[in-house]
Amino acid sequence: MRRIFGRIYTYMLLIFLYAPVIIMAVYSFNESRTSKIWGGFSLKWYISLFSNKQILTALTHTLIIAAVAMIISTIIGTLAAVGISGLGKYSKKTIMAINYLGIINPDIIIGVSLMLLFTFMDLNFGFLTMFISHITFCIPFVVISVMPVIKKLNTNTINAAYDLGAKPLYTLRKVIIPQIRPGIITGALLAFTLSLDDFVVSFFTTGSGVTNLSIYVYTSARRGISPEINALSVLMLTVVFTLLVAVNLRMLKTERKTK
């Protein structure tokens, strides 16, 4: 009986989570502009999407910011996690507690704080401020993705590398990073998705002429969401899902080879 209720609860939870996504995907092929009327199957919103300069510009800005934020935050977060792992017990707990503050804090607090900081530093709001903001709030998530993998790290290989005369930078590049690669990939994907999805921090730190997708959707929502947004969301969802499947398959192959 408990199993039956457990399965029903799981299925209901999955339906609740993914039903809106399925509905959005279905209506992206709707001939009619409104979601209240099904006008028949059509690809016109996908065709119209690639001729909408405003959406394409916002998408370009979003992808550039997300890619830069992912690369820089992954490098900084990985190095930070490696450094934290070498600290003492109390120092490690203190720094990890500070790191969790960046995750627990509401986005609006982070956004307002960064806005005040940039104003105090007299920086012009635009690409630079958005880059710094996205990198800042992505780093803690990379750290918590890499730390569990570092805890499972085989320290004997590191000690052996040092005994054989390897320098710290060489050991990091050839011994440590290959072993913690799954955590790095997870952190990078998480940083990319967080940056791609962010609205609040972007809203407070953007400047004139710099609009990402979340801000574009927010400003256009007052006039009604265009079905082109549904089409773009489906395409982005497909790309992200394909990347996740590819990464998981690669990790499974690596684990099988290791075994």
Q: What band does 257 get if pLDDT is binned at 50, 70 and 90? A: low
User: pTM value?
Assistant: 0.81
What pLDDT score does 235 carry? 84
pLDDT higher than 70, residue 258: no
pLDDT at 71: 95
Q: Is the pLDDT of residue 69 over 70?
A: yes
Average pLDDT over residues 4-15: 85
- The pLDDT assigned to 254 comes to 63
Confidence grade of residue 133 (pLDDT, cut at 50, 70, 90): very high
Give the separation between CA 236 and CA 198, rounded to whole angstroms. 15
Distance of alpha carbon 16 from alpha carbon 19, whole angstroms: 6
Check pLDDT > 80 for residue 24. yes
Top mean-pLDDT range of 3-7, 41-45, 118-122: 118-122
The span from the CA of 84 to the CA of 220, in Å, is 44
Q: Is 41 helix (H, G, I), strand (E, B) or coil?
A: strand
| Whole-number pLDDT of residue 77 | 93
What domains does the chain contain, in order, with CATH numbers?
53-258 (1.10.3720.10)
What's the whole-number mean pLDDT along residues 62-73? 93
Q: What is the pLDDT of residue 255?
A: 66
Instruction: Give the separation between CA 188 and CA 254, rounded to whole angstroms.
Output: 18
Q: What is the dihedral of CA 49, 53, 55, 60, to 10 degrees?
A: 110
Predicted pLDDT of residue 220: 76
Long-range contacts of 79-87 (CB under 8 A, 24+ apart): 80/139, 80/142, 80/143, 81/142, 81/143, 81/146, 81/147, 81/150, 81/183, 82/146, 82/150, 82/172, 82/176, 82/180, 84/143, 84/147, 85/147, 85/150, 85/151, 85/153
User: What pLDDT score does 18 carry?
Assistant: 84
* Angle, CA of 93, 99 and 101, to the nearest 5°: 110
* pLDDT average, residue stretch 117-124: 91
pLDDT at 31 over 70: yes
Percentage of residues in the chain having pLDDT higher than 90: 19
Per-residue pLDDT at 251: 67
Confidence of residue 118 (pLDDT cuts 50, 70, 90): very high
The pLDDT value given to residue 138: 92
Residue labelled with tokens 């399965």: 7
Which residue has better confidence, 104 or 252?
Answer: 104
Candidates 102, 99, 104; CA nearest to 80 is 99
30: helix, strand or coil: strand
User: What is the pLDDT at residue 66?
Assistant: 92
Confidence check: pLDDT of 85 > 90: no
* Closest to 143 measured CA to CA, from 64, 69, 196, 85: 85
Contact 94, 175 (CB under 8 A): no
Confidence of residue 143 (pLDDT cuts 50, 70, 90): very high
CA dist list (Å): 137 to 198, 204, 229: 10, 13, 26
d(CA 85, CA 71) in angstroms, rounded, equals 21
Separation CA 160–CA 180 (nearest Å)? 17
Query: Mean pLDDT score of the chain, rounded to an integer?
Result: 84
Residue 208 is given by DSSP the state T
Q: How far apart are the first and last CA of the chain?
A: 38
**Mean pLDDT along residues 189-211:** 87
